[in-house]
Chain A
């Protein structure tokens, strides 16, 4: 199981974004986000190839904002997944917002545990086995 302590009460985890450059970032774990989100300048550095756009809600906006979508490999601890990421255009990206948000399209592949102090990520099957043993 991979576990990391919250930073100042915020569930952040170390992520590696795999592209033409490998970028390390602190990603915000956000179960309110449908997709993982990457800052547009980071997306450019990674050389992401966009495959269309989608209207999304979030990042403090009350209106839908258009996001360019791309597939990208994200590594967290010893887990690596290819997921669709949303790149919010810079004019809509809050200037101080985190560069990377880990949304449900990554989270739902694993068992994420947020207990107010730590974020833990476990294989779903292994967690089920552990829970069944304890019942």
Chain B
């Protein structure tokens, strides 16, 4: 099973991942109700924006770094 299967928010991110990493590298994307809800430099601000647009209480938060960048930063 792919990690995004079963989560509309993660599926939406997966479909847009390449484009988002290219256009908004380093920013934070927030998804709600299976849609991209907000992008901002700051996690808190991105979620605040998303809450204004969507009434949902579940958010998928993804800082826009590639998997390679994220895991190499730990080594």
Query: A residues within 8 Å of B by Cβ?
Result: 3-5, 7-8, 10, 12-14, 16, 21-26, 28, 39, 41-42, 44-45, 59-60, 94-99
Chain B interface mostly: mixed
Expressed in whole angstroms, the Cα–Cα distance for A60 and B71 within the complex equals 11
Expressed in whole angstroms, the Cα–Cα distance for A3 and B3 within the complex equals 9
Determine whether the beta carbon of B43 is less than 8 Å from that of A45.
Answer: yes
* CB neighbours of A16 from chain B (8 A): 58
- Could you count the A-B residue pairs with CB atoms below 8 Å apart for me: how many are there? 83
Query: B residues within 8 Å of A by Cβ?
Result: 1-4, 6-7, 9-10, 31, 42-44, 47, 57-63, 65-75
Which residue of A4, A24, A42, A96 contacts B69 across the interface (Cβ within 8 Å)? A96
Determine whether the beta carbon of A97 is less than 8 Å from that of B74.
Answer: yes
Expressed in whole angstroms, the Cα–Cα distance for A39 and B47 within the complex equals 14
Expressed in whole angstroms, the Cα–Cα distance for A4 and B1 within the complex equals 5
Report the nearest B residue to A30, measured CB to CB: B74
* CB neighbours of A99 from chain B (8 A): 61, 63
